[in-house]
Amino acid sequence: MKKIITYLISLVLIVFIGLTEACKKNDPPIAASLAVRSYYPNSGNAGTLITIQGTGLLAKGTVMFGDKAAEVLNFNDTSMVVRAPENEATVKLTLVTTDKTINIGNYTYQQLSVHGFSPMNGAAGMQIRISGEGFGNTHSPAVVTINGVSASVVSVSDTLIVAEVPEKAGSGPVMVAVDGKTSSGANFRFQSVTGIKPRTGGAGTKVTISGEGFEGTAAGNIVDFNGKAAKVLEVSATNLVVEAPEGVATGPVAVTINGQKTTGPAFTTVPPPTIVSVTPLSGPKGLDMTINGINFSTLPEENVVTINGTAVPVKTATATRLTLILPGGTGDGKVMVSVNDQKVEGPQFKDQNLGITLVNPATGLAGTKVTITGAGFSAVAEENIVTFNGVAAIVESATETSLVVTTPANLTSGQLVVKRAALEARAPNEFFRAGVQTLYGGPGTGSFIGGSSSGIAIDSKGNVYVSSRSDRTIRKITPDGQAVIWAGKLNEFGSEDGPLSAATFGSINGIVIDASDNMYVAESNYANNIRKITPNGMVTTLKTGLPYAGRVFLNKAGELYITQMYQGILKVHANGATEKVFGATASDACSPAFDLAGNIYFLNDDYNTYISFLPARGAAIIEYIGQSEGGYQDGPRSSALLGAAPSGLVLDGEGNLLIWDKWNYSVRKYNVVSGEVTTMMKAASGYGDGAFDQAKFSPFVTGMAIGKDGSIYVIDANNSAVRKLFLR
C-alpha cells in the first residue's frame, strides 16, 4: 500500500510540473522596460520630425513639447517619430505614461535644425552631407563638430552642408553652430581599423582586427584581405576576429559597414613554418628544448608548440629558432609548431629522464674526443652505452649531464645513440665522419702549388685540376694524389688550339668544368681568351678580346660567365656572343657562384668583408651577407660577420652557399632560404690534417671547388697544398 501511495504522489508531481512548463511556454514574451536613449534633432520649427530612440517604446505614452502634445507618426519598440507642435523658445521634451514621466531633453524652436546626414558611418577623411535648415549666414560661417571634434566644412548652403570627418573623431552627435545657435542631430558612427594581430600568416590564420564602430553582428561587417572576402568569427564594438581566406595575398585588410569601407594595415603572407631540427629528442622536466627552422614568428606568443598535443609556452623566438622548457608529463609524441595557425609536424619526442642536447664536435674522425651534453646519464661510465652508427665507442668519463667518449676506429657517419639501462636517447643530428686531409703537396714537399695557383675545378671522376698564372699550365691531380701537367707547356706562352699535346696558353686566371666534363679557361696575355677543352682533349678558342678576364663560373643550366674586374660580370654564350650582366667592379680574388634561383653571389671588391648579391632579374646589387666591418659571428645575414676578402664561393647539393672565410680559417654556410649564416668548419692557423677541431690552414687559400660527393677542395697556397674537406 505504501508503494502505491508513493507512486500516486510522484504521478501528481509530474503532471503538475508538466502543466507549469506548458503555461510558461504559452506566456507572452517579457516586454523590454521603457527607456529613452537619444533623440534628434534638438531644435527646429514647428512641424520638424523628431526621432526618439530607446526601448519599450511600444508602451502607451504621450510625447510632450512643454505643455503641448506631439503627433506620433510611427513607432516600434526601439524608435518613435513625432512631429513638433507649435510652441515657442526652448521647451522640455518628455514622454508621459499613466504611471511615469521620462525626461528626454530640451527642444529649441529656431530656424537652425539638423534633420539628418549621410552616410551615418565611416572613417576619417570621408565627406558627409548634412541636411537641415538655417545653415546659411553672411556674418559667420557654419561650424560643424562630430562628437565634439571640429570638422572641416567643404561647402554650405541654407539647407545642406558638406563636411569632412576629422581624425580621431570617435562616435557621437553631429552638431552645427551658426551665429551663436546650435543644433544637434543623430550620432555618427566613427569607423577605424587601428591594428591587426597577427600581421603575418596564410590561409586559415585567425586575425584580430582592432578599431571602433564595428557592427554587432557578423553579417554587418564585411572584411576583405587585399580584396578577398574573409569569414568573420567573432564581433564586438572594438574587435573583430576573422579567418584569412584561401588564396590570400599580401595587402591591406579592410572592413566595410553599411557600404563604407575602412582600410587598415597590411597583412603579409608568409609560408608555413619548417622544422629543421629539435634538440633534445628526449628528456626530463626542466630541460631546455631548442627548435631550429624557418618562418617562425619573432613574437613568442605567435608560435604555438605542442608535444604529444600538450601546449608548451615558447620562451624566446627568432625567425629561425624557438626555445622552451620541457614541462614533463607530456608523454611520447610528435613535436608540432603552429605559427599564426599555420602548422608543421616535427620529429617524435620521448618523455623520459634521458636526453641529448649537444654533441661537440658534431663531426670527427676515428679517435676524436666527443663531449655529449644532456640529462639522465649515469655517473658510472660503463653504465652508459654510446654508439656511432651502431658501432660502440669508449666512454672515457661520465657525469649525470656529460659524457666524454672516443669515436671508434671503424667510425662511419650515422646516428649517435646513448643507452642507459632500458632508456635510449638519440642525438638531434647525425654524427658525420668528417675532417681534413692533404690531397697533394704540403710544406717542404717541393709542390708546384703557390701564390700563382689561380683556379681549381673537379671533374665527374673526382680528378682535381689546378691552373697557374705564372707557368701557363693546368695540372691534373688524381684522387690518390698523383699530379701531372695536363694542359699547356711549362713556361711557354701561346694561344695555340688543337690537341692537349700541342696547345699553349697564356696566364690562366680561372678554370671551371661543366656537367659533361668540358673545361673552360679564362686567360690573359696574347688575346685575353676564353678557351674550351673537351673531355677528349681538344682545345678551341671560344672568345677572344676580353680584357681582365678573371674567374669563370657556370649557372645551373651550364651557361658560362666571367668576371672582368672593373668592367663587371659578362655572360659568354656558346656561339661566342657576350652579354653584360653587371657593369661595376667584380673582384677576381673570389670565384662567384649562382644559387638555384639564378641569383649571383660575388665579391665586389678585393678587401670587402661582405658578399654582394646580384638578383636574377638584374636589379642593383646589395650588401647581402655580412657587414662592412669584419669579424666572426654567425646569425642572420644582416648581422653575421665575415673576415676580409672571402676567397671562394660554391653551392652545395642542398642549394646552400658555402663561403671560404680565409681570415677566420673557416667554411661558412649561408642558407639561402632562411637567410642564416652558420659555421660548418673552423680551423686554426698553420698546417695540420685531422678532425675539424684539429685542422690548420694558411690564410692564403686562393681557390675553392666542390666535388660530386660534396667534398670541398681548396688551394692552400702558403702551405703549397691542395686540401680536401670531406663531410661524410
Average pLDDT over residues 146-168: 95
pTM recorded for the entire structure:
0.71
**CATH number for region 435-726:** 2.120.10.30
Query: Which helix (H) or strand (E) element contains residue 5?
Result: helix 2-26
At residue 39, does pLDDT exceed 70? yes
| Mean pLDDT on 225-235 | 97
Q: Is 6 helix (H, G, I), strand (E, B) or coil?
A: helix
**Sign of the torsion angle spanned by Cα atoms 304, 308, 312, 316:** negative
- pLDDT exceeds cutoff 90 at 58: no
Q: Mind listing the pLDDT tens digit for each residue in 614-659?
A: 998 766 677 789 998 999 999 999 899 999 999 999 999 999 999 9
| DSSP category for residue 352 | S
Question: Residue 95: which region, alpha, beta or left (left: phi > 0; alpha: psi -120 to 50)?
Answer: beta
- Chain segment 326-369, per-residue pLDDT in tens: 999 999 999 999 999 999 999 999 999 999 999 999 889 999 99
pLDDT, tens digit, for every residue of 414-471?
999 999 999 999 999 999 999 999 999 999 999 999 999 989 999 999 999 999 999 9
pLDDT at 618: 63
Residue listed under C-alpha cell 559667420: 140
Task: Report CA 164 to chain centroid distance, whole Å.
Answer: 39
- Calculate the average pLDDT of the chain: 92
Confidence class of residue 137 from pLDDT cuts 50, 70 and 90? confident
Q: What pLDDT does residue 619 have?
A: 65
- State residue 53's pLDDT score: 93
| Spatial contact of 49 and 82, defined as CB atoms under 8 Å apart | yes
**What CATH topology corresponds to 113-190?**
Immunoglobulin-like (2.60.40)
| Calpha distance 129→155 (Å, rounded) | 9
Q: Is the pLDDT of residue 31 over 90?
A: no
Grid cell 681534413 is found at 436
E strands in 249-320: 251-257, 260-269, 274-279, 282-283, 288-294, 303-307, 310-312, 314-317
Residue 46: strand, helix, or coil: coil
Tell me the three state secondary structure of residue 631: coil
Task: Of 274, 297, 67, give the one whose Cα is nearest residue 199.
Answer: 297
* Range list for CATH 2.120.10.30 in the chain: 435-726
Amino acid at 577: A
* Range list of β-strands (E), 494-559: 498-499, 507-513, 519-524, 530-533, 538-543, 552-554
Lowest mean pLDDT among 52-66, 220-234, 406-420: 52-66
158-170 pLDDT tens trace: 999 999 999 999 9
350's CB contacts (< 8 A; 6+ apart) are 281, 282, 332, 425
pLDDT tens digit string along 481-527?
Answer: 999 999 999 999 999 999 999 999 999 999 999 999 999 999 987 67
What pLDDT is stored for residue 188 in this prediction? 95
Angle at 92 between CA 89 and CA 93, to 5 degrees: 115
Query: What contacts 442, CB < 8 A, 6 or more positions away?
Result: 687, 719, 720, 721
Kindly state the cell numbers that stand for 296: 617562425
**Homologous superfamily of domain range 355-433:** Immunoglobulins (2.60.40.10)
Look at phi and psi of residue 371 and say left if phi exceeds 0, alpha if psi is from -120 to 50, else beta: beta
Domain 192-269, CATH homologous superfamily name and number:
Immunoglobulins (2.60.40.10)
What nine digits make up the cell of 186? Answer: 543623430
Confidence of residue 552 (pLDDT cuts 50, 70, 90): very high
Q: How far apart are CA 90 and CA 522, in angstroms?
A: 99
Task: Give per-residue pLDDT as tens, 274-287.
Answer: 999 999 999 999 99
Q: What is the percent of the chain where pLDDT is above 70? A: 95
**Res 22 pLDDT > 60:** no
Half-sphere exposure of 655 (CA within 13 A, CB side): 10
Distance CA 361, CA 690 (A): 13
**Which residue, among 207, 288, 287, has the nearest Cα to 255 in the 3D structure?**
207
**pLDDT band of 259, cuts 50, 70, 90:** very high
- Note the pLDDT tens digit of each residue in 71-96: 999 989 999 999 999 998 999 999 99
Question: CA–CA separation, 629 vs 632, rounded Å?
Answer: 10
pLDDT at 518: 97
Residue 282 CA: distances (Å) to CA of 285, 288, 427, 522, 561? 10, 11, 9, 54, 49
Q: Where in the chain is the domain with CATH 2.60.40.10?
A: 113-190, 192-269, 274-351, 355-433
**CATH code of domain 274-351:** 2.60.40.10
> Is residue 57's pLDDT more than 80?
yes
**Better-predicted residue by pLDDT, 99 or 255:** 255
In this prediction, residues 303-330 reach a mean pLDDT of 96
- Averaged pLDDT for residues 265-276: 95
Rounded CA gap, 319 and 296, in Å?
5
Beta strands in 450-506 (DSSP E): 453-458, 464-468, 474-477, 483-487, 498-499
Q: Is the pLDDT of residue 150 over 60?
A: yes
Cell, residue 446 = 717541393
